Chains A and B, each alone.
Chain A
Amino acid sequence: MSKRLERADRIGYLFLTPWFIGMAAFTVGPILASLYLSFTEYTLLKPPEWLGLDNYREMLADPRLHKSLAVTFVYVFVSVPVQLVLALALALVLNRGVRGLSFYRSVYYLPSLLAGSVSIAILWRQIFGKDGLVNQLLEPFGVEGVSWVAHPDFALGTLVVLNAWTFGAPMVIFLAGLRQIPATYYEAAQVDGAGTVSRFFHITLPLLTPIIFFNLVLQMIGAFQSFTQAFVISGGQGGPSDSTLLYTLYLYQRGFGSFDMGYASAMAWVLLAVIAALTGLNFLFAKRWVFYGS
């Protein structure tokens, strides 16, 4: 018996071999290589030279890195909550038994599929540009609009709006979560005289906390890694005045624009550490507010 199992295992692993090799060659290998590169000066064209901790030391004194961290934190901590509130609000509306639910669900999900694309970023640039849709709408009111995507006070805002617009994915998950709350709870509450608001805060929200938590963790990690939109909207520069210089964009600029692949690798590891630390904090605080049922 045990021998048969062993053999079955062996065959199983054999079938998995290509994927193991793929993971080693295309995921684990590059990750470890980037760890090594982060301690070197690597200009892409010449072999890396060992620097020790110099790249990490440089990061402490690099004003653009600090700026990019600040921009990224603002982006994540504004756009994710906005996005989740929007997602939850729409999930609640759709959950009230709208006719043609699957249609609306698809329509609202669509931006999540599209927003990461270059074409939407280009569209965004048109909408918020100097001669864009937003300014055309403002014109009748006598407002002379600026180029929203190219003004240091507003450019990041347009990115936040774009990210918030991709509420479809968390919305679908919220919808699934809402479906799982037993109707009997609401009936009991209604009998006790609880109104809509109080039912939301005392039943829906507490029972939904695991889903909120899940969405929060996922969207935060995703937002930290945002790149395409900022790249396209700012023409790859993160401008104006570095106001849309997301961390990944700066990483890209250092790696591929300035040939500082060693420094870029160090940045990637710092980003990993930041995301890991914040996700850890998320889990730590989750004990205080996430309710997994009794």
Chain B
Amino acid sequence: MPRRLTALCLAGLVLAASACSGSSGGDDGTIELRFGWWGNNDRAAATQKVIDAFEAKNPGITVKGTYTDFNSYFDRLATEVAGGRAPDVITLGGAYPREYGDRGALLDLSKVALKTDKIGAAALGNGMFDGVQYGVPTGVNAISVVVNESVFDKAGVELPDQDTWTWDDFKRIARDLAAKLPDGSFALADPTRTDMLDAFSRQRGEALYTADGKVGISEQTLVEWWTMTLELRDARATPPASQTAELITQPAPEQSLMGRGLAAMQFDWSNQLTALRKASGQPLKLIRLPGETPTPGMWLQASQIYSINAKSEHPAEAAELVDFLVNSVDAGKIILADRGIPANSEVREGIQSVLTDDEKAQAAFIDELTPKAGPPLVIGPTGSTDTPKILDRVNAEVLFDRQTPAEAAADFVKQVATAIKQ
């Protein structure tokens, strides 16, 4: 009796154990890839179409897409990577490819056959760290000012001349707008974000990070920045502090002031134009940042980066998917400019005929910027992915008048230095 019981228990255990160790291959020999990205529902719908097209071309491979909004994407990814359950193809951006690459989570792309010869060198460089290509860019992007002309018209304020406007012009325009716009509408949402500190400091000959991985922005520059944003807040050109704090927790374009038609300007990435136009239902425009002369602070950047999980069971097939996503005109015709103006020159040409006005505006913006942009951005060192959160916290201290700009500047530099273990 006991022996039979033991056998029974063992059998149960074996069953339970084998149920846990499910592999990512189907019984019929198909390979299942997982592909993770962030974005809204429109992007999800487009991405699903691309996946369908890929599956149609590659029988035997199925792709399962998973997505969340931007704020939760990286928390979720960290959990999945730690648990060994990260997607095969991972979307990253900014300093994340280095963050994950340095820690051995990403595949060295030279180990798989992946063509990158048609992709612009500058954007490709955003996926290369210490000589290793960890990712390929989805497209090219730039930080810009999204402008709602109808709000300008309603307030009777003239649009700035993007070739010459300075930060003083910007402040004056914002104040003019604030004086003339109805309650609830603003000149712009609070502009503080790391990308803007990048641009603002580069215009002053600095940068958020130095090439050797240290904090590059001076406290003086930060004080200037926050002195300006406080002026904007006090002029009611930007929302009250608590509304700004609330907006920070809502990253979707549809929830932003610009997306709701409640702002005249918004500092944002150029590839957000389509989503913002759709959300607001208004013909928005892209213009270059204030203060770009004499020293330009703007730069061209890979909007997103596709990487392959170092632990993927099917790296070759994952590379095929990435290849399709970035190098195929068919895929480009579906994604259009949603992940930036395609970095692959063939794709960029191939999709011209199907671009809508929104995407053409983006492409024109990038083309115009290209000769005027500053040098490539120094991407932050490992640990710098904490910087946006540090900035949000310190910015709240400033906007709620709990720290002076000077105190906040010192605090910010200190906290970032700690995060990047300088």
Q: Can you show 16 pairs from A to B with CB atoms below 8 A apart?
A: A11-B2, A15-B5, A18-B12, A43-B103, A44-B81, A45-B100, A45-B103, A125-B249, A129-B246, A147-B246, A150-B248, A236-B71, A240-B245, A240-B400, A256-B79, A258-B386
Distance between B24 CB and nearest chain A CB, rounded to angstroms = 20
Give A residues with C-beta under 8 Å from B: 7, 10-11, 14-15, 17-18, 21, 43-46, 125, 129-130, 146-152, 233-237, 239-242, 253, 256-259, 261
Closest-by-CB residue of B relative to A129 is B246
Closest-by-CB residue of B relative to A145 is B242
Distance between A98 CB and nearest chain B CB, rounded to angstroms = 40
Give chain A residues whose Cβ lies under 8 Å from the Cβ of B154: none
In the complex, the answer to whether B242 meets A241 with C-beta atoms within 8 Å is: no
In the bound assembly, the distance between CA atoms of A17 and B9 in angstroms comes to 8
In the bound assembly, the distance between CA atoms of A261 and B82 in angstroms comes to 10
Count CB-based A-B contacts (< 8 Å): 107
**CB of B396 within 8 A of chain A?**
yes
**CB of B85 within 8 A of chain A?**
no
Closest-by-CB residue of B relative to A238 is B393
In the complex, the answer to whether A259 meets B242 with C-beta atoms within 8 Å is: no
Contact string against A for B residues 22-54, beta-carbon threshold 8 Å, 1 for contact and 0 otherwise:
000000000000000000000000000000000
Report which of B2, B71, B242 forms a contact with A235, defined as CB distance below 8 A.
B71
In the complex, the answer to whether B389 meets A257 with C-beta atoms within 8 Å is: yes
Give chain B residues whose Cβ lies under 8 Å from the Cβ of A46: 103-104
Closest-by-CB residue of A relative to B77 is A256
In the bound assembly, the distance between CA atoms of A258 and B5 in angstroms comes to 48
Q: Which 10 A-B pairs have the closest CB atoms?
A: A235-B249, A150-B245, A150-B246, A45-B103, A240-B245, A44-B82, A151-B242, A240-B396, A147-B242, A147-B246
Closest-by-CB residue of B relative to A252 is B75
Distance between B407 CB and nearest chain A CB, rounded to angstroms = 13
Give chain A residues whose Cβ lies under 8 Å from the Cβ of B18: none
Distance between A21 CB and nearest chain B CB, rounded to angstroms = 7
In the complex, the answer to whether A45 meets B245 with C-beta atoms within 8 Å is: no
Closest-by-CB residue of A relative to B184 is A131
In the complex, the answer to whether A152 meets B72 with C-beta atoms within 8 Å is: no
In the complex, the answer to whether A152 meets B402 with C-beta atoms within 8 Å is: yes
Other than A17-B9, A130-B243, give 12 A-B pairs with Cβ distance below 8 A: A11-B2, A18-B16, A43-B103, A46-B104, A150-B249, A151-B400, A235-B250, A239-B245, A239-B392, A240-B400, A241-B400, A256-B82
Interface residues on B, range: 35 or more
Closest-by-CB residue of A relative to B398 is A241
Closest-by-CB residue of A relative to B8 is A14
In the complex, the answer to whether B243 meets A147 with C-beta atoms within 8 Å is: yes
**CB of B240 within 8 A of chain A?**
yes
Give residues 240-277 of B contacting A (CB, 8 Å).
240-246, 248-250
Give chain A residues whose Cβ lies under 8 Å from the Cβ of B75: 236, 256-257
Distance between B78 CB and nearest chain A CB, rounded to angstroms = 5
Give chain A residues whose Cβ lies under 8 Å from the Cβ of B243: 130, 146-147, 150
In the bound assembly, the distance between CA atoms of A253 and B71 in angstroms comes to 13
Given A10-B2, A45-B103, A46-B104, does the pair A152, B78 have CB atoms closer than 8 Å? no
Give B residues with C-beta under 8 Å from A: 1-2, 5-6, 9, 12-13, 16, 71-72, 74-75, 78-79, 81-82, 99-100, 103-105, 240-246, 248-250, 383, 386, 389, 392-393, 396-397, 400, 402, 419
Give chain A residues whose Cβ lies under 8 Å from the Cβ of B393: 237, 239, 241-242
Report which of A14, A150, A253, A257 forms a contact with B242, defined as CB distance below 8 A.
A150
Give chain B residues whose Cβ lies under 8 Å from the Cβ of A233: 249
Closest-by-CB residue of A relative to B397 is A241
Distance between A49 CB and nearest chain B CB, rounded to angstroms = 13
Distance between A22 CB and nearest chain B CB, rounded to angstroms = 9
Give chain B residues whose Cβ lies under 8 Å from the Cβ of A45: 81-82, 100, 103-105
Given A21-B13, A151-B242, A237-B389, does the pair A44, B6 have CB atoms closer than 8 Å? no
Closest-by-CB residue of A relative to B104 is A45
Most B CB contacts (10 A, CB to CB) among A14, A148, A233 go to A14
Closest-by-CB residue of A relative to B244 is A150
Distance between A118 CB and nearest chain B CB, rounded to angstroms = 11
Closest-by-CB residue of A relative to B389 is A237
Distance between A142 CB and nearest chain B CB, rounded to angstroms = 14
Given A146-B240, A147-B242, A150-B242, does the pair A236, B104 have CB atoms closer than 8 Å? no
Distance between A6 CB and nearest chain B CB, rounded to angstroms = 11
In the complex, the answer to whether A240 meets B242 with C-beta atoms within 8 Å is: yes
Give chain A residues whose Cβ lies under 8 Å from the Cβ of B78: 44, 256-257, 259
Most A CB contacts (10 A, CB to CB) among B72, B78, B392, B402 go to B78
Report which of A14, A44, A235 forms a contact with B5, defined as CB distance below 8 A.
A14
Give chain A residues whose Cβ lies under 8 Å from the Cβ of B104: 45-46
In the bound assembly, the distance between CA atoms of A40 and B198 in angstroms comes to 34
Give chain A residues whose Cβ lies under 8 Å from the Cβ of B79: 256
In the complex, the answer to whether B103 meets A235 with C-beta atoms within 8 Å is: no
Given A147-B246, A240-B245, does the pair A259, B72 have CB atoms closer than 8 Å? no
